[in-house]
Amino acid sequence: MSGWDFTASSATRQLPQQIAKLLAAAQAAGQAAGGTSRLKVWSLEKLTLYRYRPLLQAAPLPSRPLLVCFALVNRPTVLDLQPDRSLVRVLLESRRDVYLIEWGDPDAADRVLALDDYVERYLGGCVRHLLRAHRVEAVDLLGVCQGGTLALCYAALHPQQIAQLITLTTPVDFQTGEDMLSKWVRGVDIEPLTRAGNVPGALLNRLFLALRPFSQGPLRYLKWLEQPPQPAALAQFARLQRWIYDNPDQPATAFRQFVQWMYQENRLVRGTLELAGQRVQLARIVQPLLNLYALRDHIVPPEASIALAQHISSQDYLAHGIDAGHIGLYASQRSFTELARLVGSWLQEHRR
């Protein structure tokens, strides 16, 4: 990950000087996110597939590999924020081989990449690599936010290759009543925005922050002025801020298709989405599926995730809401403990 780019944004330039000093001190003292050891095992163009090294106390048992698919609009480092806030470590503690996709940074030549590419060539390429490397017929797949939507699409298109699914804060119905983001973009003409090239990550970041301009703006820094900073808590806060403001640019074509097909036309739940010449039918998903969502999520409202139950055919389906926001799910000790318990117990019960 690059340096502290967020400190140069228009929002943070307005922060009181003492807060900027606190964050700088936290950067210097705090351990960087993404500290769990891993190896690069496969790549395709900008994409890199990593395999995490087993924890010493939890060597893998014979099982299917578990592949993690994160969103395109953020980086997956929030899944490995620090040792006691690391979903990656939770997955490793289930004694599985854990892999994670990093999409990389698109350049001007990537503006033509479509959703087909991300689902079939990139996600599909990772799945096929694991099938060959582990000599198995199917893998387990965990999708986060937009990455969960991509995972559901792939599982619906290739159900024989996916044995089990976990979705976290994953949008399925993109036009629920409480979806402020959807209401904002439904009437936007995306074509002019993407005609000029890839969509800047900083622009999307400002859009997400604008959904809650006060709580996601200066108010979140005030507590560091009201009480003496605790170094460990401040370091965690700084790591989280670094992640929030580190948004890669979005390939123009894929971004336009996602906004139009999902938010504006809601094709996924209407059964009209086609990728690589095939219709994406969620009813083809019969695998065991754990669907976790955040009850105070302002980016993916609970209703957007809960809708999944109405469209799949799985007879082994569990949905559970956690009292947290979209980011608090990983940042809050209480919320993360519940997330870890739910994921860990489900994986233990579904070991095959």
Provide the residue ranges of all domains of the chain, joining segments of one domain with +. Answer: 1-30+200-248, 32-195+266-349
Query: Which are the contacts of 286, defined by CB distance < 8 A and separation ≥ 6?
Result: 159, 312, 313, 314, 315
Question: Catalytic residue among 69, 126, 145, 153, which?
Answer: 145
CB contact at 8 A, 64 and 136: yes
Tell me whether residue 126 is one of the annotated catalytic residues: no
Q: Name residue, tokens 């409480």.
A: 178
CB contact at 8 A, 233 and 121: no
Pairing state of beta strands 139-144 and 162-168? parallel
Distance CA 286, CA 247 (A): 34
Distance CA 302, CA 297 (A): 7
pLDDT in tens, the chain (352 residues): 333 333 434 444 544 565 566 556 555 544 566 689 999 999 999 999 999 999 877 666 777 999 999 999 999 999 998 888 899 999 999 999 999 999 999 999 999 999 999 999 999 999 999 999 999 999 999 999 999 999 999 999 999 999 999 999 999 999 998 887 778 788 888 888 888 899 888 888 777 766 665 555 555 666 666 666 677 777 777 788 788 888 899 999 999 999 999 999 999 999 999 999 999 999 999 999 999 999 999 899 999 999 999 999 999 999 999 999 998 898 889 999 999 999 999 999 998 7
> Can you read off the two tokens belonging to residue 276?
């690589």
Q: How many CA atoms lie within 13 A of 220 on its CB side?
A: 18
Q: Which amino acid is at 52?
A: Y
Reduce the DSSP state of residue 170 to 3 states and report it.
coil
In this prediction the pTM is: 0.88
Reduce the DSSP state of residue 7 to 3 states and report it.
helix
Distance CA 50, CA 33 (A): 16
Model pLDDT, residue 32: 62
Helices (H) and strands (E) in the chain, counts: 16, 10
Pick the CATH number of 32-195+266-349 from 3.30.1600.10, 3.40.50.1820, 3.30.70.1280, 3.40.50.300: 3.40.50.1820
